[in-house]
Amino acid sequence: MKKLLIPSLSLVMSLLLTACNNNNDTNGVSQQMPSGDTSQQEQSSYDRELVEFPENYNKGVNYTTVHRGNVREELYTSQEAIEAVQNGQPFPDGTVITLEIYRDEELDEIFVMEKRTGWGDQTPEGTPRNGDWQYQEFNADRSLDYEEDIGRCFTCHANQERDEYINTLDEMKSYDLENFTGSKESSTESQITRIPTDHWVVKEDSQDNLLRDSLIENEEKAGIIQKVLLMIHYS
Ligand code: HEC
């Protein structure tokens, strides 16, 4: 009996391990990473506490959108940053640029770069220094993604040195700030159509609940109510 138990236990263990591996692979990142230990050692040399999650980033200027296959990226920064670029000045101290990455219309990752005086000195020795910019990657639920190798952000963005390490400087230059500061009505409307759905407090299933409870007898009315709730929530 004992003899049989041990092999079957190890079978269960290996099945469990396979399941975990599969899970990790779904984000597509772990495949490119070197095996666990070494990558963690390399990454720990970057100070991952510097750039915090920029709360309210999506109240800033959504200055451009990039489409690539099933990926959509929404780029945000402050009005002050856009104004500085348009006036030919360097990015102000404290500038934050946020890039939302949607895969198949679902928010997947949030990339952030932030510039603060002296932050250039915080990069590990022997690694590129991109002015005073630091980088950070967050998961869709806004938690920090420690698995991500921040070094690759520096390496690739270093190619844009003459544009202050920014790839979308032209888009910032040509952005019409009137769209942002313009009539309140239209900006509210465009904000609603762009909300990342996984942060909705009012979700589709609440509409279903209303329907199921026969509080509202038709879908159209439920739809209108949901819209109003969203407007209140985001105003
Ligand atoms: C292989 C090159 C590459 C790597 C690696 C890379 N980026 Fe970018 N990044 C770009 C490009 C190109 C854009 C412009 C938007 C686009 O075309 O997708 C961009 C745009 C951005 C922007 C908006 C500002 C800008 O430069 O236009 C932020 C913020 C950003 N990246 C953060 C990051 C972070 C954080 C990392 C690391 C987790 C990272 N990037 C890794 C190439 C890269």
Domains in the chain and their CATH numbers? Answer: 44-174 (3.50.70.20), 183-234 (no CATH)
228-232 average pLDDT score = 78
Residue 230's pLDDT band, with cuts at 50, 70 and 90, is confident
Measured CA angle at 190 (ends 232, 194), to 5 deg: 85
Choice between 87 and 4, residue whose per-residue pLDDT is larger? 87
Choice between 38 and 82, residue whose per-residue pLDDT is larger? 82
182 burial (CB, 10 Å; 0-12 / 13-18 / 19+) is exposed
219-229 average pLDDT score = 77
**Ligand 1 centre and the CA of 176: distance in Å?**
22
Contacts of 167 (CB under 8 A, 6+ apart): 157, 160
Which of 29, 153, 175 best tests ligand 1's pocket when mutated (most atoms within 8 Å of CB)?
153
Cα gap 11→3, rounded to integer Å? 13
For atom 7 of ligand 1, the residue with the nearest CA is: 153
Which of 39, 52, 61, 113 best tests ligand 1's pocket when mutated (most atoms within 8 Å of CB)?
113
81 burial (CB, 10 Å; 0-12 / 13-18 / 19+) is buried
Choice between 26 and 142, residue whose per-residue pLDDT is larger? 142
**Ligand 1 centre and the CA of 65: distance in Å?**
13
The confidence score (pLDDT) of residue 233 equals 73
**Ligand 1 centre and the CA of 192: distance in Å?**
26
Cα gap 214→219, rounded to integer Å? 11
**Ligand 1 centre and the CA of 150: distance in Å?**
11
Which of 27, 137, 146, 156 best tests ligand 1's pocket when mutated (most atoms within 8 Å of CB)?
156
Kindly report each contact of residues 188-195 with a partner whose C-beta sits within 8 Å and lies 24 or more positions away, as own/partner.
Answer: 188/231, 188/234, 188/235, 191/58, 191/234, 192/227, 192/230, 192/231, 192/234, 194/62, 194/74, 195/230, 195/234
Note the pLDDT tens digit of each residue in 157-196: 999 999 999 999 999 999 999 988 754 444 444 445 554 5
Q: Which atom of ligand 1 is nearest to the CA of 160?
A: 26
Task: Please tell me if the CB atom of residue 169 comes closer than 6 angstroms to any atom of ligand 1.
Answer: no
**Ligand 1 centre and the CA of 38: distance in Å?**
24
| Pair of tokens at residue 149 | 């190798």
